[in-house]
Chain A
């Protein structure tokens, strides 16, 4: 498995921390899945100090923390958010989101590249939420990124891999770069599919948090990414249009 900025992950599942029915269920989902990375955000703190309780719980999970810049629409906003996240969470990792489209939450790749360059030069280890566009991927690597995170489908849509061809092409184009399918996963089969393409990890949130039984779905996702990875390593057969008998013809009785 490729390293993420020099770090080996315990398994290929990165799990979001939003939208769970309760903090206890969130914790249960993490324990059931063994996910090694938790994505988190920064929001305005209220007088009640809600953020402090959350932070304590996340720290107790003992996983790698990947703060995001969710909801940012400009380079300036994303860079400032990243700087604030680095101080609070004590990590150089940043999941860089630059949202460009209101309905699809498609990344604004032009601003993404610019922000990635500024943050990389400032010592951040950037995990850019991008599309499957190869040229954008190339530009992000030139900007200093050592990981690429193309979307599977729009955030929260649960559609799976909208463009398998594009994701496959990305894997072929960047053989040495850790690649993560981020967003759009709805089912374990989607997550397994991403791993079968040779992706290094899958990042998902809604599919687990909004499931009827989040902990059970988290476990299913963990097994799916593991199965997908093993399948990729096992070098699967090529699909073909016609049948090919698997039982030997030689030795068949003449009856």
Chain B
């Protein structure tokens, strides 16, 4: 399935958000959103991915 992950086009096997994180090695402390909507960690396994979804995976970073 073709999706956009953190702004990059990807072809992935995962069909839900939790599986996508494992597939892409993003298993640390992260927060997720699909199509600009926050997806809490507890809902990732039941959050089905659809063709063309824009997925954001964010992590702690330096800030002012």
Footprint of B on A, CB under 8 Å? 16-20, 26, 39-45, 47, 49-52, 54-55, 58, 67-68, 70, 76-77, 80, 83-85, 87-89, 155-156, 205-206
Q: Which residue of B lies closest to A79 (CB)?
A: B38
Beta-carbon contact of B58 and A44 below 8 Å = yes
Beta-carbon contact of A88 and B58 below 8 Å = yes
Q: With A80-B36, A80-B38, A88-B29 as given contacts, are A44 and B62 in contact (CB-CB < 8 Å)?
A: no
Contact of A19 among B36, B60, B62 (CB under 8 A): B62
Residues of A within 8 A of B36 (CB): 76-77, 80
Which B21-44 residues have a C-beta within 8 angstroms of A? 24-26, 28-33, 36-38, 40-41
New A-B contacts (7) at CB < 8 Å, excluding given A16-B64, A19-B64: A16-B63, A42-B58, A43-B59, A54-B62, A70-B64, A80-B33, A80-B38
Contact of B56 among A41, A44, A58, A155 (CB under 8 A): A44
Interface size class of B (residues with CB under 8 A): 20 to 34
Does residue B61 face the partner (Cβ distance < 8 Å to A)? yes
CB-defined A-B contacts under 8 Å, sample of 20: A16-B62, A16-B63, A18-B62, A26-B62, A41-B63, A42-B31, A42-B58, A43-B59, A43-B61, A44-B6, A44-B58, A45-B59, A47-B25, A51-B29, A51-B60, A70-B64, A83-B38, A84-B31, A87-B38, A156-B64
Q: Which residue of A lies closest to B42 (CB)?
A: A87
Q: With A80-B36, A84-B31 as given contacts, are A18 and B64 in contact (CB-CB < 8 Å)?
A: yes
Contact of B59 among A51, A155, A156 (CB under 8 A): A51
